Amino acid sequence: MSASLDKNFEDFSIFKGFDESWRKRIQNNRHLAVYLANLVKNMVKLRVFKPPQLVQQPTRDMAVIKQPNIIYPVGDPVYIHIYPDPKMGSIKYHPIEPRLVKYRDAILNEVEKVLALNIDEKNAPENIKEREKILYRLLSKLFPKGKTIKISIPRETVTKSSTQKKKNTKSSTLNIVISQDLYERLRYEIYCEKIGLSILEPMIRDPFIEDVHCSGKGPIFIHHKIFGAMETTITFNSSDELDNFIIKLSEFTGKPVSHRSPIVDATLPDGSRINIVFGEDISQRGSNFTIRKFASKPISITELIKFGTFNPLMAAYVWMLLEERMSVWISGETASGKTTTLSAITSFIPSSAKIVSIEEVPEVHVPHNNWIREVVRETGDAATENAEAVSMFQLLKAALRQRPTYIIVGEIRGREGAIAFQAMQTGHPVLTTFHADSVTKLVQRLTGHPINIPKTYIDNLNAVVIQSAVHDPETGKYKRRVLSVNEVLGYDPVEMQFNFIEVFSWEPSKDIYEFRGVGSSYLLETKIAAMKGISGYEIKKIYEELELRAKILDFMVKLEIFDYYEVWQNLTWVYNVGLEQAYHKYRKMCMFKLGPRVVAEKAFLKV
């Protein structure tokens, strides 16, 4: 690092959060030091003293900040700056990357040309990691520090004649010396263009991004888990630039897009889903794409309790249902967090169970070892060009012959719904997600085309969780909430209507959940009580057990047991030792960690 930047460490101390870890980051990433130095310079010049806060990662409590101004790492050498735009009053998302600026295209063309000539095609890499190692090894060998490379710079000259002006394109040769800074930038550019996702790489790396949206020419938009929707500083300046990028992106997925096949649904290497619509003839604002990020680390049920999506009693209720092999469906609108909830509640399934999951795109997480994960196969991509397509309907029929304890279907939309109900009729609990924002609409879709479930079959479904993204008046952003948990009773042919019991409901004015099931829960008092050998006059015991489970989950939240697999391990331990012993163990741990006053007995329901 240059002496001028060393001096700027004194200036960097004005950034809130600047510590030894950030000092090391700045020392190791010259582009970050330059960016921060320019921020300091501009603040002094404009007499604006609003430096960003340097954080290890954004936290949920930051959602209440109206004008966030933070910088956080997403893995060296990439950093993210989220800041308020004073002109528009909106929030901007800006990646800080070691990109080449001057002569970028010319330098990359020369480097790629040399790399192509030196790659051994006989020893093709088997995976992305090997490809990365080979590229980095060649790059360090062929372009060491101090090496001079020659690049051609296009230059336009204008010649005048008696009738018209003519433009002639000439090129001049320029010598570029590889410095340490240039090498680091070159290394990152080559990674993004040959292994990563080019300009989308920072957003793919950022674990706090849920969706990436490109609506046509102009800026890319993202949806942040904490700060909500915002515009990025990454822009497509022309339709041609966007089309060329989308063609390259689709080829990367193995499903090339074209005017003949303008719509592509594919999966990125990290598991994220991408939808591409190509061409102005079907998308008037130009080509567009949407990426739904795949969470490498699923959210646990204790995190959902912490976030307020569930409360402990509601989670305990679902726990009891799944332990007794009830079929539970998560229903709601798009982007309401259905798949996240489905993955979270699989931790309640006993560890000895055999689970078969069937999905169009692999998204659901299951922590169990005895888990068969099956994915729909479509024709038309490079990997399955000569293979027969395999539908969800076929996989679901095959699953019934695999003797599963539980069947998980990523989403039910069509005729596979009929097979799911057949599975439930034969005693196989089915967990799935469904697009409907109420029980009434769910039943309408199930009994209508193309699913066509007979009305009298509906009671094979035991419970429906209705979930939604609701507006938070305090933050102005959206949060996920379970609106209701409902027990399905079935169809009444006399009254010609479907009956269900809303055992939990969300009270929006107070952001709390009300349990209405005491004395009226059909599943707890009739089905589960019978399975547990609890007679009618002892029915109070079923609610005492529900309360005990809720307290255990509450203790786990207090103990900050949030890791998805750690939660599952703890729940497996609870299964093995029993509820009473687990309760006393967690209570003792909480008292030791938080003190007896903090761990006051809290009743979740009145029996």
The per-residue pLDDT for 382 is: 45
Q: Dihedral of the CA atoms 535, 536, 540, 542 (nearest 10)? A: 50
What is the bridge-based pairing of β-strands 70-73 and 79-84? antiparallel
Question: In the 8-state DSSP scheme, what is residue 523?
Answer: I
Alpha-helix residue ranges (DSSP H) falling in 120-213: 128-142, 180-194, 201-205
For the domain made up of 301-517, give the CATH fold. Answer: Rossmann fold (3.40.50)
Instruction: Assess contact for 462 and 487: CB atoms under 8 A.
Output: yes
pLDDT at 45: 60
The domains of the chain are located at: 3-96, 301-517
- Indicate the angle between helix axes 180-194 and 104-118, nearest 10 degrees: 70
- pLDDT for the residue 544: 95
Residue type, 584: H
pLDDT (tens digit, 9 = 90+) per residue, 157-211? 444 544 455 555 667 788 888 999 999 999 999 999 999 999 999 999 999 999 9
Token pair belonging to 23? 């000092």
* Residue 200 and residue 212 in contact, taking contact as beta carbons nearer than 8 Å: yes
Q: What is the residue-averaged pLDDT of the chain?
A: 89
Q: Report pLDDT for 415.
A: 85
- pLDDT for 159 equals 47
Model pLDDT for residues 553-605, shown as the tens digit of each residue? 999 999 999 999 999 999 999 999 999 999 999 999 999 888 876 665 666 76
pTM for the whole structure: 0.84
Give the H or E element holding residue 498. Answer: strand 497-507
Asked whether the beta carbons of 141 and 133 are under 8 A apart, the reply is: no
Contacts of 287 (CB under 8 A, 6+ apart): 216, 239, 242, 243, 246, 276, 277, 278, 279, 280
Alpha-carbon gap, residue 202 to 78, rounded angstroms = 7
Strand arrangement of the beta sheet that strand 228-236 belongs to:
53-54, 70-73, 79-84, 91-96, 228-236, 218-224, 209-214, 288-292, 273-277, 263-267
How confident is residue 51, by pLDDT bands cut at 50, 70 and 90? Answer: confident
Q: Which helix (H) or strand (E) holds 70?
A: strand 70-73
Question: What is the number of H-type helices and E-type strands within the chain?
Answer: 19, 21
- Distance between CA atoms of residues 22 and 16, nearest Å: 11
Per the structure block, which two tokens stand in for 330?
Answer: 């998560």
What is d(CA 504, CA 88) in angstroms, rounded to the nearest whole number?
A: 42
Contact call for residues 135 and 190 (beta carbons, < 8 A):
yes
Beta-carbon contacts of 250 under 8 Å, excluding residues fewer than 6 positions away, are 256, 257, 264, 266, 276, 278
| 412-467 confidence digits (pLDDT tens) | 988 889 989 999 999 999 999 999 999 999 999 999 999 999 999 999 999 999 99
523 vs 600 pLDDT, higher one: 523
